[in-house]
Amino acid sequence: MNRRHLLAALGALPLVGAIDAYADDMAILRAALALHPGLHRYATPAQIAAGLDRVAAAWPGASLETRYLALSRFLATLRCGHSYCNFFNQRRAVAARLFDRPTRLPFHFRWIEGAMVITAAGESTLPAGTVIERIDDRPSAELLARLMPYARADGHNDGKRRALLAVQGEDDIEFFDVFQGLVAPPAGGAHRIEARLPDGRRIKRALPAIGLAARRAMMVKPPDTSDGERWQWAMRGDVALLTMPGWGLYNSKWDWAGWLEERLDSLGGARALVIDLRANEGGLDCGNAILARLIDRPLAPPGFAQKLRFARTPAALDRYLDTWDESFRTLGVGGAALPGGFIARPGGDAEVTIRPAIKRLTLPVAALISPTNSSATFQFALIARASGTIRLFGETTGGNQRGINGGAFFFVRLPESGIEFDLPLIGYFAPPGMPDAGITPDVPIAASAADIAAGRDPALDAALAWARRA
């Protein structure tokens, strides 16, 4: 967004007088988006304006479901992995109506080369490695194509979008379940599927759809509010394996830093360390505690400028912007003006620099990465690659080497509809010429349907083999 468009959007905030009087969702949406640092990273002002006009046209008198889909689809066009109608930030009544539906497929699955592959039977009795070829009389790949426009990711990183549309028991509310339930619910309470079993036989079956409680009963990861141990530590012979399925520890009282320090201290007799981050989208910068043990000089993400779109938030808008840190409302105060209407984030470089720890680790370290890694774990992979201290195995991450938006957030509440969406406030911009892609592993390796059927984990096997040779 150039300065003229920014001022036009904020200048509409004599319309924000109308916000106060009429609780106009569209005026709040337009004004809040003027604070978004990546609004025009991938879209022109004309494209954004046209998209907002489509949302506005769909809004009057529409159902909550229609509004939620319209706003979600628009926010996905920003190509920002942190801009979406966050399932976990909706008010209880909104969440119950949108997400608590008996429409879900009764198994866990991943998308592999465009095919839906079962990874856990759940309530279906279908074995792992089964390929679901058709759902409700349509190719499963067609369902994926219908849902992709709602999936959030940075830039054109469609690997992240496909990963988000898998169901692996990692979230209280699964992204696929929400949009499949709203866009393509089953008729008559059951999904009609056609599948290819691991032995090659083809079957047809009607599978009763399940609800939110049944899906949660199938979870493999503790909920983000758990105060118990959230990570796993095991020795594979003389190689330590640290499995970190999530860093979303904002609401947990678990002393993760002490837990991690104690285990890193125990590595004196280990040959190597392997860190499994494949199920980890991000959260706190927990990986910095590991990187600090591996480096001998201060380390920061390479070449990213931190930019904002505002010095302080407009007072009339503040009541609609929830956050956990009130200082975000004056985030740009004192920042230098930059071309294009941006403001440099004051003190931004100090926030992301990692300092070497007194206790050092000198053993080989590998990390398993995947398209799920798109926030703090994308940042970890980026810095790990720059540091040269960690060898990366697996699949290309989410996130984007051109930069992402995040670091600080407002949760924008639209009072008329009751819908919330997340608004990132800091744009991280790479120098020109960086690829529109995530971080590629040093050793690319992905599981096939046959691997899943056989219970093999080729990425982990490759990392352990390297660790024992290194």
- Report the pLDDT value the prediction gives residue 5, as an integer from 0 to 100: 36
Q: Report the distance separating Cα 448 and Cα 457, nearest Å.
A: 9
SS3 label, residue 440: coil
Two structure tokens written together for 290: 């590991």
Closest by CA position to 278, among listed 218, 366, 352: 366
- Report the pLDDT value the prediction gives residue 432, as an integer from 0 to 100: 93
SS3 label, residue 383: helix
- Report the pLDDT value the prediction gives residue 286, as an integer from 0 to 100: 97
Q: Report the distance separating Cα 447 and Cα 371, nearest Å.
A: 13
Kindly give the parts of the chain with pLDDT less than 70. 1-23, 224-225, 350-351
Residue 241 CA neighbour count, 13 Å, CB half: 15
- Please, are residues 467 and 364 in contact by the beta-carbon 8 Å criterion? yes
Q: Report the distance separating Cα 433 and Cα 235, nearest Å.
A: 42
- Report the pLDDT value the prediction gives residue 8, as an integer from 0 to 100: 37
Q: Report the distance separating Cα 177 and Cα 160, nearest Å.
A: 16
- Report the pLDDT value the prediction gives residue 6, as an integer from 0 to 100: 34
Two structure tokens written together for 413: 């509440």
- Report the pLDDT value the prediction gives residue 228, as an integer from 0 to 100: 86
Per-residue pLDDT tens digits for 7-62: 333 333 334 444 443 359 999 999 999 999 999 999 999 999 999 999 999 999 99
- Please, are residues 368 and 274 in contact by the beta-carbon 8 Å criterion? yes
Please provide residue 106's backbone torsions phi and psi, each rounded to the nearest 5 degrees.
-90, 35
- Report the pLDDT value the prediction gives residue 405, as an integer from 0 to 100: 97
Q: What is the DSSP string of 15-67?
A: SHHHHHHH--HHHHHHHHHTT-TTTTSSS-HHHHHHHHHHHHHH-TT--HHHH
Q: What is the DSSP string of 198-220?
A: TTS-EEEEEEE-B-HHHHHHT--
Per-residue pLDDT tens digits for 117-139: 999 999 999 999 999 999 999 99
- Report the pLDDT value the prediction gives residue 15, as an integer from 0 to 100: 40
Q: Report the distance separating Cα 350 and Cα 342, nearest Å.
A: 19
